[in-house]
Amino acid sequence: SYELTQPPSVSVSPGQTARITCSGDALPKKYAYWYQQKSGQAPVLVIYEDSKRPSGIPERFSGSSSGTMATLTISGAQVEDEADYYCYSTDSSGNHRGVFGGGTKLTVL
Amino acid sequence: EVQLVESGGGLVQPGGSLRLSCAASGFTFSSYWMHWVRQAPGKGLVWVSRINSDGSSTSYADSVKGRFTISRDNAKNTLYLQMNSLRAEDTAVYYCARVGMGLDYWGQGTLVTVSS
């Protein structure tokens, strides 16, 4: 079955740039989406269609995709950005089956 | 305001059944595809199933295929997940999510615990 691969953890100091990667064979043909999940809360969409930012999401969140890798970048990470981040996409089967990456714990301290 | 409210979770014995509901409001439910996503305690998000806007097309994760059935009642603005032959590994918080810009709105989730 199709898989998306993320690093388990990323750590930065406040004000630094955090980059979280997501690799998958279908990403050249399928969009990547990124979700932020804080403890005990439902996930929140922070990037859609590789690089678009929903209204209300701070400008420090950006996304890009090249080849088989998508990247979420948090420029000037804040303490409140500490959370789990998940990439999401669909497989190339034509059945619109979703898949999440394993998640990345972002620590900002 | 878009709202998704899941219900129907609880404690069930292995081999048992449960039906989850997701009540939608604040948008034209019949125009949107919907998904179910689950999260086992302390683990990551896992995609479970999706249904198109009129209910004519569905897909499932391999782990639930043949045991779970997704459906919807557009007249009642409600999404369902019928879960049969439940196993301990199905224990999770189950979220429903709307497909807009990706899975753009999520409910708060309902906890399903499969245990004897």
Reported as a single tens digit per residue, the pLDDT across B70-109 is: 999 999 999 999 999 999 999 999 999 999 989 999 999 9
**How many Cα atoms within 13 Å fall on the side-chain side of residue A42?**
21
A100 touches chain B (CB under 8 A): yes
Give the pLDDT of residue A62.
98
Predicted confidence (pLDDT) per residue in B32-79, tens digit: 999 999 999 999 999 999 999 999 999 999 999 999 999 999 999 999
Q: Check if the beta carbon of residue B23 is closer than 8 Å to that of residue B44.
A: no
Give the pLDDT of residue A101.
97
Tell me the residue type at A47: I
Using pLDDT thresholds of 50, 70 and 90, give the confidence band for residue A91.
confident
> E strands along B13-91, which residues?
18-25, 34-39, 45-51, 58-60, 68-73, 78-83
Other Cβ atoms within 10 Å of B6 Cβ, number: 23
> E strands along A16-101, which residues?
18-23, 33-37, 44-47, 61-66, 69-74, 83-90, 98-100
Question: How high does pLDDT run on average in chain A?
Answer: 96
Q: What burial class does residue B97 get, using C-beta atoms within 10 Å of its C-beta: 0-12 exposed, 13-18 middle, 19+ buried? A: buried
Is there a contact between A1 and B62 if contact means CB atoms under 8 Å apart?
yes
d(C-alpha B114, C-alpha B65), whole Å: 18
Is there a contact between A48 and B45 if contact means CB atoms under 8 Å apart?
no
Q: What is the DSSP letter of A48?
A: B
A7 touches chain B (CB under 8 A): no
Determine the average pLDDT of the residues in A5-23.
97
Is there a contact between B103 and A42 if contact means CB atoms under 8 Å apart?
no
Q: For chain B, what's the residue count?
A: 116
Provide the greatest CA pair distance for chain B: 40
Sign of CA dihedral A75, A81, A82, A88: negative
d(C-alpha A49, C-alpha A88), whole Å: 10
Other Cβ atoms within 10 Å of B116 Cβ, number: 9
Q: Check if the beta carbon of residue B80 is closer than 8 Å to that of residue B70.
A: yes
Sign of CA dihedral B50, A90, A22, A66: negative
For residue A47, list its beta bridge partners: A34
With 90 as the cut, is the pLDDT of residue A1 above it?
no
Contacts of A98 in chain B (CB under 8 A): 35, 37, 47, 50, 103
With 90 as the cut, is the pLDDT of residue B18 above it?
yes
Give the pLDDT of residue A92.
82
Is there a contact between B47 and A88 if contact means CB atoms under 8 Å apart?
yes
Q: What is the DSSP letter of A52?
A: B
d(C-alpha A83, C-alpha A73), whole Å: 14
